[in-house]
Amino acid sequence: MEVTVECKQRPEGSKPGALRRSGLIPAVLYGHKGTESVSLTLGAKAAETLLKKATINNTLVQVSIPDISWNGKALLREVQTHPWKRNEVYHLSFFSVAAQDSLEVTVPLHFVGQAVGLKSGGILDPVITELQVQCAPGDIPESIEVDVTNMEIGDSLHIRDLILPQGITPLIDPETTIVTMGGQAGTKEETEEATPST
């Protein structure tokens, strides 16, 4: 998914607190010209809308900066919020991907299917819920499906078991466990085994 946001160049010497009080959110764009960065602002409502659609380190954002005639794709890299008012945004960081052949991004895992082990009283226990991968900027998946349909009690799925879209390379050990199917504690059989016969 791709979203669009328009920013303005931040006036030199402006204070972040004063900007926020006036309804503007400080931001920064990295890498728009090699290693250069540019300080920006965007409206608080625009930031709120953006965060409803974009996920950190996953969603491509079309950033427009009319002040410097720049328009390009970027990843939302960081969102700073108020220490306890999580819906109050303090600062946004974008990373330009225009010159990048590949990126490291974090993709949520989406568990699909009705595991057969659930019918035997098993409990599905996800170990990880997102995966760091490398891919081209235009190939970032919104999520990666993990099919748990055939999992029985005692089974585990690992990174090596995933069917990944073409061009997506996982950046963690292939033996890393994604999800396990454990037995339900205190089942009738376990209780009988644990009770000594008289």
pLDDT tens-digit map of 18-67: 999 999 999 999 886 656 789 999 999 999 899 888 888 888 899 999 98
Region 111-125: what's the mean pLDDT? 92
CA gap 145, 110 in Å, rounded: 5
Buried b (16+ CB within 10 A) or exposed e, 16-50: eeebbeeebbbbbbbbbeeeeebebbbbbebbeeb
Length of the chain: 198
End-to-end Cα spacing for the chain = 65
pLDDT of residue 191: 38
The contacts of residue 26 (CB under 8 Å, 6+ apart) are 10, 16, 19, 20, 39, 40, 41, 90, 91, 92
Pick from 5-14, 80-89, 126-135: least confident: 80-89
Where does CATH 2.170.120.20 sit in the chain?
104-185
pLDDT of residue 12: 86
Of the pLDDT bands very low, low, confident and very high (cuts 50, 70, 90), residue 7 is: very high
Strands 103-112 and 144-147: parallel
CA gap 158, 161 in Å, rounded: 5
Buried b (16+ CB within 10 A) or exposed e, 51-73: beebbebbbbbebebeeeebebb
Strands 24-30 and 89-96: parallel
Q: What is the largest CA-CA distance in the chain?
A: 86
- CATH class belonging to 104-185: mainly beta
Candidates 3.40.50.300, 2.40.240.10, 3.20.20.70, 3.20.10.10; correct CATH number of 2-100?
2.40.240.10
Check residue 163 and report its DSSP letter. -
- Token pair of 25, please? 């959110």
pLDDT at residue 189 is higher than 80: no
DSSP 183-196: PPTT-HHHHHHHSP
pLDDT of residue 34: 59
Where does CATH 2.40.240.10 sit in the chain?
2-100
Mean pLDDT, the chain, rounded, equals 85
pLDDT of residue 181: 94
